[in-house]
Structure 1
Amino acid sequence: MKFQTQYGEIEITVNAIRKLVYLAVLETYGPISIGSDNWFNRWFSSDEGKIRVEEDEYGHLKIDIFVEVEYGTKVTEVGKNIEENVVHKLKAFANCENAEVDVHIIGVR
């Protein structure tokens, strides 16, 4: 993702966006387990344990977040809160206005 400022061009990599999304999900109440970006999970986990970030040629982001939530929480509210928090953090920290965030609840613990 690139954008121009008065001082020059700024490029934010997909990996940096993924880490920002990861931190935004950690700040939200309700999720217990989410995919991380370390080498162990990259080699030994399934797609359900990850945060996927894809960028198209127009600079639009599609983000898929797979989480397990805490038992007793309202699942729809947790998903909505995760989505809102991620969108807010992307706008505030990465100047990203065009992100589609999908939260997938894969389990309850």
Structure 2
Amino acid sequence: MPGKIDNKYGYINIDDTVIATIAGSAAMECYGLVGMASRNATEGLVELLRRENLTKGVRVHTEGEDVVVDLYIVVEFGTKISVVANNIIERVKYTVEDLTGMRVQKVNINVQGVRVQK
């Protein structure tokens, strides 16, 4: 369901894919994140998504002006997962609120895998 903002001039509908693109792009700027993972990791196989498919690793739920964002990510080996996750949460929350004017209630991080660099 698209997000809706009312003001004195009318209303603005923001589609969930727009919010997902903003959230995915903001998350990719964070240190320790290798990339987004597909949401449907079956049998332990995780697909690392390319930059043009970021929205497949993001799920957005909107109700009026409130947004909940679920991110499915792959982190870099050797980084502290809790620190990376907190950085992503803060960055995504700030960016989505700043660009859309909507309130972000939650940003849920789902770590789907760890990538070891050789």
Identify the TM-score tier after normalising by the shorter chain.
0.7 to 0.9
Stretch moving more, 46-55 or 61-70: 46-55
Give the aligned partner of residue 10 of structure 1. 12
Per the alignment, residue 25 of structure 1 pairs with: 27
Query: Where does structure 1 differ by over 4 angstroms across 4 or more consecutive aligned residues?
Result: none
What corresponds to 2:111 in structure 1? 105
Q: Measure the CA separation in 1 of the matches of 2:28 and 2:82.
A: 17
Q: Deviations over 1:65-97 (max 9, x none)?
A: 011101111110000000000000011101121
**2:92 aligned with 1:83:** no
Between Structure 1 and Structure 2, the one with more strand by share is: 2
The answer to whether 1:52 aligns with 2:59 is yes
Q: Report which of the two has the higher share of helix.
A: 1
Offset of 1:106 from its aligned partner? 1.5
What residue ranges of structure 1 are gaps of 5+ in the alignment?
36-44
Q: Percent identity?
A: 28
Q: CA separation in 2, counterparts of 1:100 and 1:27?
A: 19
1:5 deviates by 2.6
Aligned mates of 2:10, 2:102 — CA distance in 1: 17
Paired position in structure 2 for 1:69:
75
Query: Could you say what the CA RMSD is over the residues aligned between the two structures, in angstroms?
Result: 1.8
Where 2:103 maps in the other structure, the secondary structure is coil
TM-score by length of 1: 0.80
Q: Quick check: 2:5–2:102 contact (8 Å CA) kept in 1? A: no
Match of 1:47, SS state, is coil
Alpha-carbon distance in structure 1 between the residues aligned to 2:61 and 2:9? 27
Calculate the TM-score normalised by the size of structure 2.
Answer: 0.74
Partners of 1:99 and 1:8 in 2: CA distance? 24
Gaps of 5+ in 2: 42-46, 48-56
Q: How many correspondences in the alignment? A: 99
Give the whole-Å Cα distance in 2 for the aligned partners of 1:46 and 1:67. Answer: 9
